[in-house]
């Protein structure tokens, strides 16, 4: 499969992407992951990205697209890929369209995960993350709690509520999403690529996406 995953913070993009990769061997790609990998590998593009990141500046779209182009040409993308949370803006979507045309890559479709706001708030305010930078396992105190003492089941480190997962921060993130990323829904609708999926249960959503891929 070759798909893009869209959805507000807390829509379950990461979980859905992980389940889909397990289904057919496609790879999950996020801009954060490919930027960190390029920096770690010390590639020329990675060095450029590191300069921006060290200054606390946003990495320019042109550089992100160059790094994305390198990633999509890697062998593990031949089976398929899932772009998780990218693109985020219309200019990125337009640049990605050109990149894929140049690489002769055809998307199956674009998944838009639809989740009611109250569900998103409940998901994110109850989320806890392992504080160990090498682990960062995610829990939910209702549906998938950490150990009774609040420690991670995998590594034993304390779990924390991230600063961007308080109710006030989440409402702000949703507002930013509505302003900057939600317009992508219209963009991909015009391209004839958009498919909407109600995402209350990640497993049900994955089954619906797999069924849509089979046509």
- Give yes or no: 210 in active site: no
- Give yes or no: 123 in active site: no
- Give yes or no: 13 in active site: yes
Which one from 18, 36, 173, 195 is the annotated catalytic residue? 173
Which one from 13, 71, 123, 128 is the annotated catalytic residue? 13
As to burial, measured by CB atoms within 10 angstroms (0-12 exposed, 13-18 middle, 19+ buried), residue 145 is middle
Which one from 36, 88, 195, 210 is the annotated catalytic residue? 88
- Give yes or no: 88 in active site: yes
Catalytic residues: 13, 88, 127, 162, 173
């Amino acid at each position: 499969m070759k798909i893009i995953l869209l959805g507000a913070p807390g829509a379950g993009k990461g979980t859905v992407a992980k389940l889909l990769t397990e289904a057919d061997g496609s790879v999950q790609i996020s801009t954060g992951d490919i930027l960190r990998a390029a920096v770690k590998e010390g590639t020329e593009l990675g060095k450029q990205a590191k300069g921006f990141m060290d200054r606390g500046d946003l990495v320019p779209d042109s550089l992100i697209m160059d790094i994305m182009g390198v990633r999509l040409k890697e062998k593990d993308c031949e089976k398929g890929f899932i772009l998780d949370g990218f693109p985020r803006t219309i200019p990125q979507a337009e640049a990605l369209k050109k990149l894929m045309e140049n690489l002769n890559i055809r998307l199956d479709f674009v998944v838009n995960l639809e989740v009611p706001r109250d569900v998103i708030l409940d998901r994110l305010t109850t989320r806890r993350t392992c504080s160990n930078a090498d682990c960062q396992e995610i829990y939910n105190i209702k549906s998938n709690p950490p150990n009774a003492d609040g420690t991670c089941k995998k590594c034993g480190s304390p779990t924390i509520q991230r600063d961007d997962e308080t109710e006030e921060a989440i409402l702000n993130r949703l507002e930013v999403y509505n302003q900057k990323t939600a317009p992508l829904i219209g963009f991909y609708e015009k391209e004839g690529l958009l498919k909407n999926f109600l995402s209350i249960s990640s497993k049900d959503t994955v089954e619906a996406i797999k069924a849509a891929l089979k046509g």
